């Protein structure tokens, strides 16, 4: 018996020694496999892979169809702080949750501290990593799987509830990347992704937005996983297209819709060291020893891409950023609206970029215009300041409000000085700043400036809070809520200060308008000048194309001339000569 046991043991050992080099070759990274000769979906375009058209969206394109984009913006705008029971509450929270496998949790756990430390992230956004190692799409597609129980525990540990989950990032695959014959395996993965999406909506009733991402390059592990990682993107593409094409299983509007709005998040696949059209590559050093899981460098790479997506995507930035909105964004889509106040009939005429034209009679011809987001719903509210009294109309519920705060001679400077998502009532008076917090009725007074200064409040240090600042004879004096006191010489006494975030880095830039020339001192880009307009034009700088950068623009006799950073030049006839363009309200 002992001889038999010894014989079996030796046989097993010899077998292990004979096959272990092969196993190591399969499981270890092969850094010579720097390309698979495949074209990324976003570069494939109208071309095909095994008869299937490329592009992230239908028709071989990489841009969301207009109707789907509009639907996404609508859902993103509906994301708001909720209490534990899922009821709207300005002091509540809302959750971005990850769902996926080992790669997903490794990448998202790197993303979370990066995002939490970003000063532009909204304070009431809670990021929770729900992804779990060794749990593939099959596990997650079972509503009774313990994966969902684990998520519930993690939500509780983060101090939030299932009712507060409103955004999901989903990155998932079949175990081992073995999708089999194309497109059968892709179709199977698509179905599992659909199951996960619908289960998530059933467990998180306030889930509104779900972004999907693909695998990154898998070729360093071998051909099987390399092909599976590439084909993974086609499953995501198919699921997104199902919703775009009106599949009732994925309806996201109406009464009790079964699904959230879904769209591509970052598309991560690139062909190894062959640069994608946007320059993305994947080096062997981006992976751990197995060639499939991300190394610390790879995790950081994914985390950076993901953070950039949430800060710049037209839908994601609406709920992620704490300071993405401009004072003239009346429909809350992240784009400044072409809007005027006409003193002759005391009507606000708004040509909203998403919701279209509307007209509202509000105020008197002698009022000081004071639009801002007073109710915290992400939309600018119509408001005026008259003899020390504030009158405004909440966009969230159309309720009228009036409050005595200030003196008749004060300059209204409403803005979000606390970073709570709501503008404070605020006035500037002879070097004094007085603010009234509408959330907690807290009064504050700050001495900063002198009587002749021009108030230019803005978020100069990028922490999501508006800073007290004044312009005096070509000098900017700023009291940053994080950076403290700073002084910058930029401009001359007769210039019109036109503060804004012209380089899109989240920090307000010093800028002036002088006789048709814009002089800008970007906090990231540095100094530059732009000839745009004539001496009598009214500067109306704002972010008209929603790319996060303030655009150079002027108003002249009822015509808006805009040099948009993302969409180029545009001229729009809206208003008449004596109208007051709303984006110019705060130009001293």
Span 415-450, pLDDT tens digits: 999 877 789 999 999 999 999 999 899 999 999 999
pLDDT for the residue numbered 5: 34
Coil, helix or strand at residue 230: helix
pLDDT for the residue numbered 27: 63
Span 99-131, pLDDT tens digits: 999 999 999 999 999 999 987 788 899 999 999
Average pLDDT over residues 450-455: 97
pLDDT for the residue numbered 73: 85
Q: Is residue 324 pLDDT above 80, yes or no?
A: no
pLDDT for the residue numbered 427: 98
pLDDT band at residue 12 under the 50/70/90 scheme: very low
- Residue 109 buriedness (CB in 10 A; 0-12 / 13-18 / 19+): middle
pLDDT for the residue numbered 323: 59
Do residues 160 and 201 touch, judged by C-beta distance below 8 A? Answer: no
pLDDT for the residue numbered 458: 95
| Residue % of the chain over a pLDDT of 90 | 82
Sign of CA dihedral 299, 302, 305, 308: negative
Span 172-196, pLDDT tens digits: 999 999 999 999 999 999 999 999 9
What's the order of all strands across the beta sheet hosting 389-393?
Answer: 368-369, 382-386, 389-393, 400-404
The residue written with tokens 């004071």 in the block is 370
Q: Whole-prediction pTM value?
A: 0.69
pLDDT band at residue 9 under the 50/70/90 scheme: very low
Which of the pair, 462 or 184, is modelled with greater confidence?
184
Q: Which helix (H) or strand (E) holds 368?
A: strand 368-369
Average pLDDT over residues 472-491: 96
pLDDT for the residue numbered 74: 87
Q: Mean pLDDT in the chain?
A: 92
Tell me the CA distances in angstroms from 377 to 77, 78, 80, 419, 546, one per residue in order.
Answer: 8, 8, 7, 14, 17
């Amino acid at each position: 018996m002992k001889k038999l046991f010894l014989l079996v043991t030796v046989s097993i050992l010899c077998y292990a020694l004979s096959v272990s080099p092969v196993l190591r070759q399969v499981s270890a990274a092969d850094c010579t496999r720097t390309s698979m000769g495949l074209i990324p979906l976003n570069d494939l375009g109208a071309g095909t892979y095994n008869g299937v058209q490329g592009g992230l969206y239908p028709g071989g394109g990489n841009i969301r169809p207009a109707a789907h984009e509009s639907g996404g913006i609508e859902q993103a705008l509906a994301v708001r702080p909720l209490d534990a029971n899922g009821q709207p509450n300005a002091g509540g929270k809302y959750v971005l949750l990850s769902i996926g496998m080992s790669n997903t949790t490794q990448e998202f756990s790197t993303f979370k501290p990066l995002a939490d430390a970003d000063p532009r992230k909204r304070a009431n956004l809670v990021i929770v990593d729900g992804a779990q190692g060794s749990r593939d799409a099959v596990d997650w597609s079972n509503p009774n799987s313990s994966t969902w129980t684990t998520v519930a525990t993690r939500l509780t540990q983060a101090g939030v509830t299932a009712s507060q989950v409103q955004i999901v990032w989903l990155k998932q695959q079949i175990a081992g990347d073995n999708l089999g014959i194309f497109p059968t395996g892709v179709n199977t993965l698509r179905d599992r992704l659909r199951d996960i999406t619908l289960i998530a909506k059933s467990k998180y009733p306030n889930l509104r937005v779900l972004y999907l991402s693909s695998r990154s390059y898998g070729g360093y592990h071998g051909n099987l996983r390399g092909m599976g990682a590439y084909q993974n993107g086609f499953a995501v593409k198919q699921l997104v297209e199902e919703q775009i094409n009106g599949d009732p299983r994925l309806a996201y509007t109406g009464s009790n819709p079964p699904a959230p709005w879904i769209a591509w998040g970052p598309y991560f696949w690139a062909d190894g060291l062959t640069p994608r059209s946007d320059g993305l590559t994947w080096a062997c050093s981006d992976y751990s020893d197995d060639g499939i899981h991300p190394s610390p460098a790879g995790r950081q790479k994914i985390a950076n891409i993901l953070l950039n997506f949430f800060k710049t995507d037209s839908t994601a930035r609406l709920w992620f950023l704490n300071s993405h909105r401009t004072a003239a964004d009346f429909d809350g889509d992240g784009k400044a609206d072409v809007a005027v106040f006409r003193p002759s009939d005391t009507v606000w005429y708004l040509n909203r970029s998403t919701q279209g034209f509307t007209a509202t009679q509000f105020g008197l011809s002698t009022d000081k215009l004071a639009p801002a987001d007073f109710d915290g719903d992400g939309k600018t509210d119509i408001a005026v300041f008259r003899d020390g009294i504030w009158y405004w109309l909440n966009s969230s519920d159309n309720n009228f409000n009036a409050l005595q705060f200030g003196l008749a001679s004060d300059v209204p400077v409403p803005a979000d000085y606390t970073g709570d998502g709501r503008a404070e009532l605020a006035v500037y008076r002879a070097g004094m700043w007085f603010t009234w917090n509408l959330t907690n009725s807290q009064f504050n007074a700050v001495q900063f400036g002198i009587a002749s200064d021009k108030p230019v409040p803005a978020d100069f240090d990028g922490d999501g809070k508006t800073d007290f600042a004044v312009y005096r004879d070509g000098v900017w004096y700023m009291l940053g809520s994080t950076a403290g006191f700073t002084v910058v010489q930029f401009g001359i006494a007769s210039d019109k200060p036109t503060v804004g975030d012209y380089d899109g880095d989240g920090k307000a830039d010093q800028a002036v308008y002088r006789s048709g020339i814009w002089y800008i001192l970007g906090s990231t880009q540095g100094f530059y000048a732009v000839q745009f307009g004539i001496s009598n034009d009214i500067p109306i700088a704002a972010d008209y194309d929603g790319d996060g950068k303030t655009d150079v623009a002027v108003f002249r006799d009822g015509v808006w001339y805009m040099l948009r950073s993302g969409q180029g030049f545009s001229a729009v006839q809206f208003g008449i000569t004596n109208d007051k363009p709303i984006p110019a309200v705060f130009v001293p």
